[in-house]
Chain A
Amino acid sequence: MTEPHLGGTYGQQLEAARWAEAEGLVSFARCDHFLSDGDPTPDATDAFAVLAGLARDTTDIRLCVLVSPITFRHPAVIAKNAVTIDQMSGGRFDLGVGTGWMELEHVNLGFPFPEWRERWARFEDALNYLDAAFGEGHASYEGAYYTLDADVKPKPTGMRRVLGGSGPKRTPSLAGEWADEYNFFICPPDEARAKIEVMRAVADGRNVEATAMGGPLVGRTEAEYQERLAKSAAKRDLQPKELEDRYKNNGFPIGTPDRVAETVAALEDAGVERIYVQWLDLDDLDAMKETVDIVRGG
Chain B
Amino acid sequence: MEFGVQVRGDWDHVVGVAQWAEDRGLVSIALPDHYLQRGDNLDEPAWDHLIHLAGLARETSLELVSLVSPVTFRHPGVLYKMAVTIDEISGGRFTLGLGTGWMDEEFEVFGLPYPELDVRTEMLEEAMAYMRAAITPGDKGFSGKHYQLADFDPHPHPTNLRLMIGGAGRPKGRRIVALYCDEYNVYARKPEVYRDVWEATRAEAKAAGRDADSIFWTSAGPALAAKKDTDYRRLLGAMAEKTGQSTDKIEETYEERGYPHGAGSKAAEMVAALGEAGCQRYFPQIFAEDMADFDINLDAYQG
Contact = CB atoms under 8 A, between A and B. Distances in A.
Interface of A: 9-10, 34-35, 40-46, 48-50, 52-53, 55-57, 72-74, 76-77, 80-81, 83-85, 87-88, 107-111, 129, 146-151, 153-154
A48 B83 CA distance: 11
A153 B46 contact: yes
Interface in B139-159: 147-150, 152-156
Contacts of A154: 10, 45, 47
B88 A45 contact: yes
B42 interface: yes
Contacts of B58: 53, 56-57
Interface stretch (B70-78, B187-195, B292-300): B70-78
A45 to B, nearest CB: 4
A89 to B, nearest CB: 9
Given A107-B150, A108-B149, 16 more contacts: A10-B89, A34-B81, A46-B85, A52-B51, A52-B52, A73-B75, A76-B111, A77-B74, A77-B78, A84-B51, A88-B55, A108-B154, A129-B111, A147-B111, A151-B42, A153-B43
B150 A46 contact: no
Given A10-B89, A45-B85, A148-B109, A55 B55 contact: yes
A85 B51 contact: yes
Contact of B84 (A45, A48, A109, A151): A45
Tell which of A77, A108, A110, A153 has the most Cβ of chain B within 10 Å: A110
B54 interface: yes
Contact of A153 (B44, B57, B112, B149): B44
Nearest to A146: B111
Contact of B48 (A41, A77, A151): A77
Tell which of B57, B81, B86, B88 has the most Cβ of chain A within 10 Å: B81
Contact of B156 (A45, A77, A87, A129): A45
Interface in B145-199: 147-150, 152-156
Contacts of B89: 10, 49-50, 53
Interface in B25-68: 35-36, 42-48, 50-52, 54-55, 57-59
B200 interface: no
A57 B54 CA distance: 11
B11 interface: yes
Tell which of A53, A108, A153 has the most Cβ of chain B within 10 Å: A53
Contacts of B109: 148-150
Nearest to A45: B85
A50 B58 CA distance: 11
A257 B209 CA distance: 65
B47 A44 contact: no
A107 to B, nearest CB: 6
Contacts of B75: 72-73, 109-111
A129 to B, nearest CB: 8
Contacts of A84: 11, 47-48, 51-52
B82 interface: yes
Closest 4 CB pairs of A and B: A109-B77, A52-B54, A153-B45, A150-B109
Given A35-B154, A83-B47, A49 B77 contact: no
Nearest to B90: A53
Given A43-B156, A146-B111, A80 B47 contact: yes
Contacts of A108: 149-150, 152, 154
A46 B57 CA distance: 14
8 contacts: A41-B155, A50-B89, A72-B77, A74-B113, A84-B11, A88-B11, A109-B80, A149-B111
Contact of A49 (B54, B110, B150): B54
Nearest to B144: A110
Contacts of B82: 46, 48-49
Tell which of B76, B147, B149, B156 has the most Cβ of chain A within 10 Å: B156
Contact of A46 (B47, B78, B108, B147): B78
B78 A110 contact: no
Contact of A44 (B86, B130, B153, B155): B155
Contact of B51 (A48, A146, A147): A48
B156 to A, nearest CB: 4
Contacts of A46: 78, 81-82, 84-85
A76 B35 contact: yes
Contacts of B46: 80, 153
Nearest to B47: A84
A111 B77 contact: yes
A286 B109 CA distance: 49
Given A40-B155, A76-B35, A148 B81 contact: no
A111 B108 CA distance: 23
A150 B88 CA distance: 34
B86 to A, nearest CB: 6
A46 B48 CA distance: 14
A77 B108 CA distance: 14
Given A53-B54, A56-B55, A76-B111, A41 B148 contact: no
